Protein backbone atom coordinates (compact mmCIF):
# COMPACT_ATOMS: atom_id res chain seq x y z
CA UNK A 1 0.00 0.00 0.00
CA UNK A 2 2.64 2.50 1.08
CA UNK A 3 4.74 2.04 -2.06
CA UNK A 4 1.69 2.69 -4.25
CA UNK A 5 1.16 6.11 -2.66
CA UNK A 6 4.68 7.09 -3.58
CA UNK A 7 4.23 5.93 -7.16
CA UNK A 8 0.91 7.71 -7.49
CA UNK A 9 2.36 10.95 -6.15
CA UNK A 10 5.41 10.58 -8.37
CA UNK A 11 3.35 10.10 -11.54
CA UNK A 12 1.09 12.99 -10.63
CA UNK A 13 4.08 15.24 -9.95
CA UNK A 14 5.69 14.16 -13.20
CA UNK A 15 2.62 15.00 -15.30
CA UNK A 16 2.08 18.36 -13.59
CA UNK A 17 5.76 19.03 -14.09
CA UNK A 18 5.34 18.52 -17.83
CA UNK A 19 2.82 21.38 -17.99
CA UNK A 20 5.16 23.65 -16.03
CA UNK A 21 7.83 22.44 -18.41
CA UNK A 22 5.88 23.77 -21.39
CA UNK A 23 5.70 27.19 -19.74
CA UNK A 24 9.46 26.97 -19.21
CA UNK A 25 9.99 26.00 -22.87
CA UNK A 26 8.50 29.41 -23.67
CA UNK A 27 10.98 31.18 -21.41
CA UNK A 28 13.84 29.15 -22.81
CA UNK A 29 12.94 29.96 -26.43
CA UNK A 30 12.72 33.67 -25.64
CA UNK A 31 15.96 33.87 -23.68
CA UNK A 32 17.80 31.53 -26.03
CA UNK A 33 17.13 33.77 -29.03
CA UNK A 34 16.25 37.28 -27.90
CA UNK A 35 18.59 37.18 -24.84
CA UNK A 36 16.00 38.98 -22.78
CA UNK A 37 14.89 37.48 -19.48
CA UNK A 38 11.12 37.67 -19.53
CA UNK A 39 10.27 38.78 -16.02
CA UNK A 40 6.62 39.03 -17.05
CA UNK A 41 6.45 35.35 -17.98
CA UNK A 42 4.28 34.29 -15.06
CA UNK A 43 1.98 37.27 -15.54
CA UNK A 44 1.48 36.31 -19.20
CA UNK A 45 0.64 32.83 -17.97
CA UNK A 46 -2.03 34.25 -15.66
CA UNK A 47 -3.53 36.13 -18.64
CA UNK A 48 -3.88 32.81 -20.49
CA UNK A 49 -5.37 31.16 -17.41
CA UNK A 50 -7.98 33.90 -16.93
CA UNK A 51 -8.86 33.79 -20.63
CA UNK A 52 -9.41 30.04 -20.34
CA UNK A 53 -11.64 30.59 -17.31
CA UNK A 54 -13.69 33.30 -19.04
CA UNK A 55 -14.13 31.17 -22.17
CA UNK A 56 -15.21 28.21 -20.06
CA UNK A 57 -17.63 30.05 -17.80
CA UNK A 58 -19.25 32.21 -20.50
CA UNK A 59 -19.17 29.96 -23.59
CA UNK A 60 -18.62 26.55 -22.02
CA UNK A 61 -15.48 25.98 -24.06
CA UNK A 62 -13.28 23.25 -22.63
CA UNK A 63 -9.79 24.55 -21.74
CA UNK A 64 -8.19 21.53 -23.45
CA UNK A 65 -9.95 22.51 -26.69
CA UNK A 66 -8.80 26.09 -26.20
CA UNK A 67 -5.12 25.15 -26.01
CA UNK A 68 -4.47 26.05 -29.65
CA UNK A 69 -6.64 29.21 -29.86
CA UNK A 70 -5.14 30.55 -26.62
CA UNK A 71 -1.66 29.81 -27.92
CA UNK A 72 -2.66 31.96 -30.93
CA UNK A 73 -3.90 34.81 -28.74
CA UNK A 74 -0.75 34.81 -26.62
CA UNK A 75 1.36 34.60 -29.78
CA UNK A 76 -0.21 37.86 -30.92
CA UNK A 77 0.40 39.43 -27.51
CA UNK A 78 4.02 38.28 -27.43
CA UNK A 79 4.64 39.48 -30.99
CA UNK A 80 3.18 42.88 -30.16
CA UNK A 81 5.22 43.18 -26.95
CA UNK A 82 8.49 42.40 -28.68
CA UNK A 83 7.80 44.53 -31.75
CA UNK A 84 6.37 47.40 -29.71
CA UNK A 85 8.47 47.83 -26.60
CA UNK A 86 11.15 45.18 -26.17
CA UNK A 87 13.01 45.50 -29.50
CA UNK A 88 14.47 48.92 -28.60
CA UNK A 89 15.84 47.32 -25.41
CA UNK A 90 17.72 44.36 -26.86
CA UNK A 91 21.04 46.18 -26.83
CA UNK A 92 20.49 47.82 -23.45
CA UNK A 93 21.93 46.49 -20.17
CA UNK A 94 20.14 43.74 -18.28
CA UNK A 95 18.88 45.95 -15.47
CA UNK A 96 17.19 48.22 -17.99
CA UNK A 97 15.38 45.27 -19.60
CA UNK A 98 14.54 44.06 -16.12
CA UNK A 99 12.75 47.30 -15.20
CA UNK A 100 10.86 47.27 -18.50
CA UNK A 101 9.52 43.76 -17.98
CA UNK A 102 8.85 44.32 -14.30
CA UNK A 103 6.76 47.34 -15.30
CA UNK A 104 4.85 45.17 -17.79
CA UNK A 105 4.38 42.52 -15.09
CA UNK A 106 3.05 45.08 -12.59
CA UNK A 107 0.58 46.41 -15.15
CA UNK A 108 -0.68 42.94 -16.15
CA UNK A 109 -1.07 41.70 -12.57
CA UNK A 110 -3.01 44.77 -11.48
CA UNK A 111 -5.23 45.00 -14.55
CA UNK A 112 -6.19 41.38 -13.83
CA UNK A 113 -6.80 42.36 -10.22
CA UNK A 114 -9.12 45.19 -11.27
CA UNK A 115 -11.01 43.02 -13.77
CA UNK A 116 -11.27 39.74 -11.87
CA UNK A 117 -10.78 40.65 -8.21
CA UNK A 118 -8.42 38.97 -5.79
CA UNK A 119 -10.26 35.65 -5.38
CA UNK A 120 -8.81 32.35 -6.54
CA UNK A 121 -10.58 30.86 -9.54
CA UNK A 122 -10.55 27.52 -11.30
CA UNK A 123 -12.41 25.45 -13.86
CA UNK A 124 -14.46 22.38 -13.05
CA UNK A 125 -14.78 20.12 -16.09
CA UNK A 126 -17.04 17.07 -16.37
CA UNK A 127 -13.97 14.82 -16.48
CA UNK A 128 -12.19 16.48 -13.57
CA UNK A 129 -12.45 13.35 -11.43
CA UNK A 130 -11.88 10.75 -14.17
CA UNK A 131 -8.83 8.60 -13.82
CA UNK A 132 -7.02 5.74 -15.52
CA UNK A 133 -6.18 2.58 -13.63
CA UNK A 134 -2.81 1.24 -14.70
CA UNK A 135 -2.06 -1.75 -12.54
CA UNK A 136 -1.86 -0.43 -9.00
CA UNK A 137 -1.62 3.19 -10.19
CA UNK A 138 -4.51 5.64 -10.28
CA UNK A 139 -3.66 8.35 -12.78
CA UNK A 140 -5.63 11.57 -13.07
CA UNK A 141 -7.07 11.72 -16.61
CA UNK A 142 -6.76 15.53 -16.87
CA UNK A 143 -3.06 15.34 -16.14
CA UNK A 144 -2.56 12.60 -18.75
CA UNK A 145 -4.27 14.70 -21.44
CA UNK A 146 -2.28 17.78 -20.45
CA UNK A 147 1.01 15.89 -20.32
CA UNK A 148 0.40 14.33 -23.74
CA UNK A 149 -0.50 17.71 -25.25
CA UNK A 150 2.68 19.21 -23.79
CA UNK A 151 4.87 16.55 -25.38
CA UNK A 152 3.15 17.00 -28.77
CA UNK A 153 3.50 20.79 -28.67
CA UNK A 154 7.16 20.65 -27.68
CA UNK A 155 7.90 18.09 -30.39
CA UNK A 156 6.21 20.34 -32.95
CA UNK A 157 8.30 23.27 -31.77
CA UNK A 158 11.54 21.30 -31.91
CA UNK A 159 10.59 20.18 -35.44
CA UNK A 160 9.88 23.78 -36.43
CA UNK A 161 13.27 25.00 -35.23
CA UNK A 162 15.14 22.11 -36.83
CA UNK A 163 13.35 21.79 -40.18
CA UNK A 164 11.37 24.88 -41.17
CA UNK A 165 13.33 27.63 -42.97
CA UNK A 166 11.85 30.21 -40.61
CA UNK A 167 12.97 28.14 -37.62
CA UNK A 168 16.46 27.91 -39.04
CA UNK A 169 16.51 31.67 -39.57
CA UNK A 170 15.57 32.22 -35.93
CA UNK A 171 18.35 29.89 -34.83
CA UNK A 172 20.75 31.85 -36.99
CA UNK A 173 19.79 35.04 -35.12
CA UNK A 174 20.41 33.24 -31.84
CA UNK A 175 23.82 31.97 -32.94
CA UNK A 176 25.15 35.20 -34.37
CA UNK A 177 23.22 38.44 -34.23
CA UNK A 178 25.60 40.38 -36.47
CA UNK A 179 25.95 37.49 -38.90
CA UNK A 180 22.18 37.25 -39.22
CA UNK A 181 22.02 40.97 -40.03
CA UNK A 182 24.80 40.59 -42.59
CA UNK A 183 23.03 37.83 -44.52
CA UNK A 184 19.96 40.04 -44.68
CA UNK A 185 17.66 38.49 -42.08
CA UNK A 186 15.02 40.80 -40.63
CA UNK A 187 16.22 40.21 -37.09
CA UNK A 188 13.66 42.43 -35.39
CA UNK A 189 10.78 40.62 -37.04
CA UNK A 190 12.32 37.24 -36.22
CA UNK A 191 12.75 38.34 -32.60
CA UNK A 192 9.09 39.32 -32.51
CA UNK A 193 8.17 35.93 -33.98
CA UNK A 194 10.32 34.20 -31.37
CA UNK A 195 8.79 36.12 -28.51
CA UNK A 196 5.41 35.26 -30.00
CA UNK A 197 6.30 31.56 -30.10
CA UNK A 198 7.50 31.66 -26.50
CA UNK A 199 4.27 33.37 -25.50
CA UNK A 200 2.29 30.77 -27.46
CA UNK A 201 3.83 28.06 -25.26
CA UNK A 202 2.67 30.11 -22.29
CA UNK A 203 -0.84 30.31 -23.76
CA UNK A 204 -1.03 26.56 -24.29
CA UNK A 205 0.44 25.80 -20.86
CA UNK A 206 -1.92 28.30 -19.20
CA UNK A 207 -4.98 26.71 -20.78
CA UNK A 208 -3.94 23.36 -19.32
CA UNK A 209 -2.66 24.60 -15.97
CA UNK A 210 -6.05 26.12 -15.18
CA UNK A 211 -7.31 22.54 -14.89
CA UNK A 212 -4.68 21.71 -12.29
CA UNK A 213 -4.27 24.76 -10.05
CA UNK A 214 -6.31 27.78 -8.93
CA UNK A 215 -5.35 31.14 -10.36
CA UNK A 216 -5.16 34.53 -8.63
CA UNK A 217 -3.86 37.81 -10.11
CA UNK A 218 -0.89 37.54 -7.73
CA UNK A 219 0.20 34.12 -9.00
CA UNK A 220 2.55 35.59 -11.63
CA UNK A 221 5.85 35.98 -9.72
CA UNK A 222 5.65 32.42 -8.39
CA UNK A 223 5.15 31.09 -11.92
CA UNK A 224 7.98 33.24 -13.26
CA UNK A 225 10.33 31.92 -10.61
CA UNK A 226 9.22 28.36 -11.29
CA UNK A 227 9.93 28.85 -14.99
CA UNK A 228 13.43 30.18 -14.15
CA UNK A 229 14.19 27.21 -11.95
CA UNK A 230 13.00 24.72 -14.56
CA UNK A 231 14.85 26.34 -17.45
CA UNK A 232 18.14 26.62 -15.59
CA UNK A 233 17.85 23.11 -14.20
CA UNK A 234 17.10 21.63 -17.61
CA UNK A 235 19.53 23.74 -19.57
CA UNK A 236 18.91 27.14 -21.08
CA UNK A 237 18.22 26.98 -24.81
CA UNK A 238 17.37 23.28 -24.78
CA UNK A 239 13.67 22.56 -25.27
CA UNK A 240 13.81 18.90 -24.22
CA UNK A 241 15.90 20.17 -21.30
CA UNK A 242 13.08 22.48 -20.22
CA UNK A 243 10.61 19.58 -20.26
CA UNK A 244 13.05 17.39 -18.34
CA UNK A 245 13.58 20.22 -15.85
CA UNK A 246 9.81 20.52 -15.48
CA UNK A 247 9.47 16.83 -14.78
CA UNK A 248 12.33 16.92 -12.26
CA UNK A 249 10.90 19.92 -10.43
CA UNK A 250 7.41 18.39 -10.50
CA UNK A 251 8.75 15.16 -9.01
CA UNK A 252 10.88 16.96 -6.42
CA UNK A 253 8.00 19.13 -5.25
CA UNK A 254 5.54 16.23 -5.13
CA UNK A 255 7.94 14.10 -3.12
CA UNK A 256 8.91 16.97 -0.81
CA UNK A 257 5.22 17.61 -0.20
CA UNK A 258 4.73 13.97 0.69
CA UNK A 259 7.79 13.50 2.90
CA UNK A 260 7.95 16.92 4.54
CA UNK A 261 5.26 19.55 4.36
CA UNK A 262 3.62 20.89 1.17
CA UNK A 263 4.32 24.49 2.18
CA UNK A 264 8.07 23.78 2.15
CA UNK A 265 8.14 22.08 -1.23
CA UNK A 266 9.46 25.07 -3.20
CA UNK A 267 12.46 25.14 -0.89
CA UNK A 268 13.58 21.88 -2.45
CA UNK A 269 13.20 23.32 -5.95
CA UNK A 270 15.33 26.29 -4.99
CA UNK A 271 17.83 23.94 -3.37
CA UNK A 272 17.97 21.96 -6.62
CA UNK A 273 18.45 25.20 -8.57
CA UNK A 274 21.36 26.27 -6.37
CA UNK A 275 23.03 22.88 -6.80
CA UNK A 276 22.60 22.94 -10.58
CA UNK A 277 23.89 26.53 -10.84
CA UNK A 278 26.99 25.64 -8.88
CA UNK A 279 27.88 22.27 -10.30
CA UNK A 280 26.43 22.31 -13.79
CA UNK A 281 25.62 25.94 -14.63
CA UNK A 282 24.74 25.06 -18.22
CA UNK A 283 21.93 22.82 -16.93
CA UNK A 284 21.37 19.11 -17.31
CA UNK A 285 20.88 19.08 -21.09
CA UNK A 286 22.43 22.45 -21.87
CA UNK A 287 25.52 23.00 -23.91
CA UNK A 288 28.65 24.33 -22.27
CA UNK A 289 28.51 28.12 -22.01
CA UNK A 290 31.16 29.95 -23.93
Partner 1 sequence: MIVRLFEGVPRRGVALLAALLVVLLAAPWMANDYLLTVLIIILYSAYTGQAWNVMMGFAGQLSLGHAIYVGLGGYAAAALYVHFGVGPWLGLAAAITVAVACSAVIGFLAFRFGVGGVYFAILTIAFAEFARIGFDHFGWVGGSSGFFLPVANYARNDLWNLRGNPTMFYYVMLALTFAAFVLCHVLLKSRVGYYWQAIREDEIAARSLGINTFRYKMYAVIISAGMTAVAGVFFAFYYNNLFPEQVFHISRSIELILGPIIGGIGTLFGPLIGAFLLTGLSETMQEILTALGLDAPGAKQVFYGLCLLVVVLALPDGVWPWLAGKLGVAGRRA
List of residues contacting partner 1 (CB under 8 A): 31, 37, 85, 88, 92, 94-96, 98-100, 102-107, 109-114, 118, 217, 221, 225, 228-229, 232, 261, 263-264, 266-267, 270-271, 273-274, 277-279, 281
Q: Please identify, using beta-carbon distances, which residue of 92 and 162 lies nearer to partner 1.
A: 92
Q: Please identify, using beta-carbon distances, which residue of 168 and 287 lies nearer to partner 1.
A: 287
Closest CA to 74 of 129, 22, 140, 151: 22
Shortest distance in whole angstroms from residue 93 CB to partner 1 = 8
Shortest distance in whole angstroms from residue 277 CB to partner 1 = 5
Burial 101-111 (b: 16+ CB within 10 A, else e): beebbeebbee
Shortest distance in whole angstroms from residue 47 CB to partner 1 = 14
Q: Please identify, using beta-carbon distances, which residue of 118 and 135 lies nearer to partner 1.
A: 118
Shortest distance in whole angstroms from residue 20 CB to partner 1 = 16
Q: Please identify, using beta-carbon distances, which residue of 136 and 281 lies nearer to partner 1.
A: 281
Q: Please identify, using beta-carbon distances, which residue of 25 and 36 lies nearer to partner 1.
A: 36
Shortest distance in whole angstroms from residue 236 CB to partner 1 = 9
Amino acid sequence: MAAEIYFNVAVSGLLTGLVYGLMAVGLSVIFGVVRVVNFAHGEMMTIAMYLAIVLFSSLGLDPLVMVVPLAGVLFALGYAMQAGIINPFITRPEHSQFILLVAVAIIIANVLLIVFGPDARNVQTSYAFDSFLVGPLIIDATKVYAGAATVVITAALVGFFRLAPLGKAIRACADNYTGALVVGLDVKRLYALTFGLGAACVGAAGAMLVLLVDVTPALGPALTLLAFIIVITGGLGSMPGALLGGVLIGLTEAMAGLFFTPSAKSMFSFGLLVLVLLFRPQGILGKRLS
